[in-house]
A and B are shown apart, each in its own frame.
Chain A
C-alpha cells in the first residue's frame, strides 16, 4: 500500500513538473531546432531573446501592463474586500459573486465582451484599456485572498487603536493595513502573473500590440526556434522567485499574529 502511494506520488509530481524540466535542456540547445536531448549546449537562445527588440519590447509591455493591472486590482480589490467583509447591505452575496466571476466565467466570453465594448469606445490597441482588462482578470485573486485575511483579523486590535486616539481611517491605515500587507503582497503576485501570462483577452483587445504571451503565440504560428523555451524558462524562474518571496513574508506574518491573538477564552 505504502509503495503504491509512493508510485502515485512520483507520477503525479512528475506529471506536474516534467514538462517544465524538459524545457530547460531544450532551451540550452545550440541547435536551430527544438531538440531533446540537445546535442550541444549553449546560451545562444537566451542571447537571442535580449538581442531581438520585438522580444524585449514584448517583455517590457508585459511588465508595464502587469504592474499597472496589479496596482489597480490591489487598490480596488482591497477596498472591495473591506466592504464585502465588514459591510452589511442588501445584495452583498451577489456582489461577492460578481467580484469572483472573472475567475469562473470562460475567458473567451469575457474577451469577446470586452472586445465589443472596447470597439465601441475605440479602446482597442490602447495600453491603458489593456491594463484595465487585465485588472479585471486579476481582481478575483485580490478579493479572495484579502477578504479571507480580513475575516481572520481580530477587530479588537482596531478598537484598541480607536480608543487610544486614532480616527477610523488612521486606525485602518496604522493597524489593519499593516496586517493586510503580506496577504496583499501574495495577492499582488498572483494578480501580476494572472496579467503577465494572459493571452486570450489580450489577443482580442490589444490590436496589434504584443505582450510576451502574444509574442510567443505568434512565434508558434511562424517558426519554432528555442527562443520560446528560453523565454519559458525565464518566466518560470520569475514565478518561482515571486512565490518564494510571497511565502517568506506570509510565514513571518503568521508567526506574529498567531502568538498575538490567543484563542478566545
Chain B
C-alpha cells in the first residue's frame, strides 16, 4: 500500500494528518557573537505549528544568523533552540529534518531538475519508484513536471526558485526555512511567487520561518512577523498589529510609509507637533513628549483642517495622489489621497490645510 504524498491531494480533499504536519519551534535567549560584533542578542520567540513566521530587518540585523542557527550551519552560541520541545543544539544539520530554500536557489548544477528534487528522498533511503513518484508529484505542484529532465542552467530565475521550493518540501518536512527566496527576482515575478508560496504552505501545513528585508513581502505572507534590528527583536506580532501599533520609531518607519513627528510640548489639550504645529486635541489625551506616527492614508485634505503646510509636490500614483508638504518648521509631511473621479490638485507652493483623526496617531517613545 502506498500512502499518497501531500502533493497528490486533489482540490477539496483534506489530509487528515495536516493538523500535525508542522512543528513548533522555540528560540530560548540565543546569543551569537563574532568577535566583538553581536549578531544575535537574547533572541527568544515561539513559533506555533503550521505558523508562517517572518524575520524582517535590514541587512546585518541578525535575521539570517537566527535562521542559520536553526538550520545548523553555525553553532548556537548561548541559549537553545527546540523543535517540538526537543533541543536541537547537538543534532547535526542533516538530522534536523528541515527543508530550506536559499536566496541564490543553490540548486545542484550537475543534477537535472528531477535529480535535484529527488535528492532529499535519496538521502532518506527511499525506494527508487517511490522517489520518482514523489518527486514528480512535487514538481507537478509547482507546475514544472514538464521540465523534469532540464538542467538548472537551462531554467529561468522563477523556474529555478520553484525547483528549489519543490526540493525543499518534497520530503514533507515539518519545518521550512526560506532565506530571502525571492530576493534575486524581479518585482512582478516576486508578487506571483509570494501568492504561490502562501498557497503551497497552506497545502503542506509546515511551519515556515521566512527571512526578508522586504516589508511588503513580510506583511503579505506572514501570520506573524518579528522586526529585527542590531541583533534584537524590536517587535513581534501580526502584520496588522505591527502596522497599526508600532512600538518604536524603528518599527514605525520600517513597516509601511509613515510620518514620524517629534512632540515638542503640550499644554492642556493643545500639543505642539513637528510639521503640524499646535494641535488642539479632543479625542484623547495628548502625548507629552517623544514622537507620534501618522500614516499617510490617515491624513485628509479639508479647508477646515487643524494643520496647514506648503505643498511641495503632488505625485501621481494612478489610483492615488501622494502630497508632499513642508511645514513652517521645514519638516516634511506626506499623505495619500485616493483618486476617485475628478480631483482638483492644488499647484505646488499653495498652502494646504489638512486634518486627521486623533485616534490615528500612534504615540512612540523617544
- B106:A159 contact, CB within 8 angstroms: yes
- A166:B109 contact, CB within 8 angstroms: no
Give the interface SS of chain B, mostly helix, strand, loop or mixed: loop
- B184:A265 contact, CB within 8 angstroms: yes
Instruction: State whether the Cβ of A250 lies closer than 8 Å to any Cβ in chain B.
Output: no
- A162:B153 contact, CB within 8 angstroms: no
Contact A175-B123, Cβ < 8 Å, known A163-B72, A164-B168: no
- A157:B106 contact, CB within 8 angstroms: yes
> Can you list 16 A-B contacts (CB < 8 A)?
A157-B108, A159-B71, A159-B73, A160-B108, A161-B108, A163-B99, A164-B123, A165-B119, A167-B92, A171-B94, A178-B110, A259-B153, A260-B105, A262-B104, A262-B157, A265-B180
> Chain B contacts of A167 at CB under 8 A?
92, 94
Instruction: State whether the Cβ of A257 lies closer than 8 Å to any Cβ in chain B.
Output: yes
Render A233-265 as a binary contact track against B, CB cut-off 8 A, 1 for contact: 000000000000000000000011111111011
Name the 5 nearest CB pairs between A and B, nearest first. Answer: A165-B123, A259-B153, A260-B109, A164-B120, A160-B106
- A154:B94 contact, CB within 8 angstroms: no
- A160:B100 contact, CB within 8 angstroms: yes
Apart from A257-B109, A260-B152, 15 more pairs, CB < 8 Å: A159-B71, A159-B102, A161-B119, A162-B72, A162-B73, A162-B94, A163-B73, A163-B177, A164-B99, A165-B119, A165-B171, A255-B153, A260-B107, A260-B153, A261-B109
Task: State in angstroms the CA–CA spacing of A135 and B215 once bound together.
Answer: 57
Render A139-173 as a binary contact track against B, CB cut-off 8 A, 1 for contact: 00000000000000010110111111111001100
Question: What range describes how many residues of B lie at the interface?
Answer: 20 to 34
> Chain B contacts of A162 at CB under 8 A?
72-73, 93-94
Interface residues of A in 69-125 (CB under 8 A from B): none
Contact A170-B123, Cβ < 8 Å, known A156-B104, A159-B106: yes
> Chain B contacts of A170 at CB under 8 A?
123
Return A31 CB to nearest CB of chain B, in Å.
53
Contact A163-B96, Cβ < 8 Å, known A178-B110, A179-B110, A260-B152: yes
Return B93 CB to nearest CB of chain A, in Å.
4
> Chain A contacts of B71 at CB under 8 A?
159, 163
Residue of A nearest to B98 (CB): A163
Render B139-160 as a binary contact track against A, CB cut-off 8 A, 1 for contact: 0000000000001110001000
> Chain A contacts of B31 at CB under 8 A?
none
> Chain B contacts of A260 at CB under 8 A?
105, 107, 109, 152-153
**A residues in contact (CB < 8 Å) with B:** 154, 156-157, 159-167, 170-171, 174-175, 178-179, 255-262, 264-265
Render B164-184 as a binary contact track against A, CB cut-off 8 A, 1 for contact: 000110010000010010011
Instruction: State whether the Cβ of B103 lies closer than 8 Å to any Cβ in chain A.
Output: yes
Residue of B nearest to A162 (CB): B93
Residue of B nearest to A175 (CB): B108
Contact A256-B153, Cβ < 8 Å, known A164-B99, A164-B120, A167-B92: yes
- A165:B94 contact, CB within 8 angstroms: yes
